[in-house]
């Protein structure tokens, strides 16, 4: 991870995408027996259900280059890494995320640091005007899902099928 943080990160272009993905270390039924990452992992929930393991938070630019990443326990909220200034100190411009990043205090904190957070609105929120460019860029959120898939399956960060994190 130190090598990746120092040598392999891309350059900020001002158009950024953020998302998190679960990294399962074992099946949820075997969480009590698991000893390899004992004390480091926890049970969390994502869009496809419960899992036991880590969460990988990624920030990428519009070219698909990874700008920064953070590995947290599975039960950590998606907004928590963005509250950490070290995670977003190298970025500027607009950052596009999903509905899990909605938060007034987070939006204000990032705006002060020179980052404009853009998300879709939830069903129970009032409708507000959005620039057409921002609406189009929110549709390009699939770019970060592609990067997550490449890391998990092609680079075999997580073993496909069984969902077990590979130990290097």
Walk along the chain (168 residues) in steps of 10 and give the mean pLDDT of each run. Answer: 79 91 82 76 83 88 90 88 84 90 86 88 79 89 87 75 56
Q: pLDDT value at position 164?
A: 59
Q: What are phi and psi of 47, to 5 degrees?
A: -65, -20
Helix (H, G, I), strand (E, B) or coil at 153: helix
User: What CATH number has the domain bearing residue 55?
Assistant: 3.30.420
Alpha-carbon gap, residue 168 to 164, rounded angstroms: 13
Instruction: State pTM to two decimals.
Output: 0.84
- State which residues form the domain around 34: 2-165
Rounded distance, CA 104 to CA 138, Å? 19
- Our count of domains for the chain comes to 1
The pLDDT of residue 166: 60
Find the helix or strand (DSSP H, E) in which 117 lies.
strand 115-118
Please give the pLDDT value at position 86: 82
pLDDT for 17 equals 94
């Amino acid at each position: 991870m130190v090598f990746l943080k120092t040598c392999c990160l891309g350059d900020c272009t001002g158009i950024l995408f953020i998302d998190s993905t679960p990294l399962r270390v074992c099946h949820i039924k075997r969480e009590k027996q698991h000893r390899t990452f004992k004390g480091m992992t926890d049970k969390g929930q994502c869009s496809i259900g419960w899992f036991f393991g880590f969460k990988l938070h990624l920030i990428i630019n519009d070219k698909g280059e990874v700008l920064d990443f953070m590995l947290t326990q599975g039960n950590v909220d998606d907004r928590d890494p963005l509250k950490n200034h070290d995670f977003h100190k190298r970025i500027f411009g607009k950052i596009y995320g999903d509905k899990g990043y909605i938060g007034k205090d987070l939006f204000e904190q990032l705006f002060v640091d020179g980052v404009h957070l853009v998300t879709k609105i939830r069903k129970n929120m009032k409708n507000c005007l959005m620039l057409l460019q921002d609406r189009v860029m929110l549709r390009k959120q699939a770019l970060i899902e592609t990067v997550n898939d490449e890391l998990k399956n092609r680079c075999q960060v997580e073993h496909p099928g069984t969902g077990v994190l590979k130990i290097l």
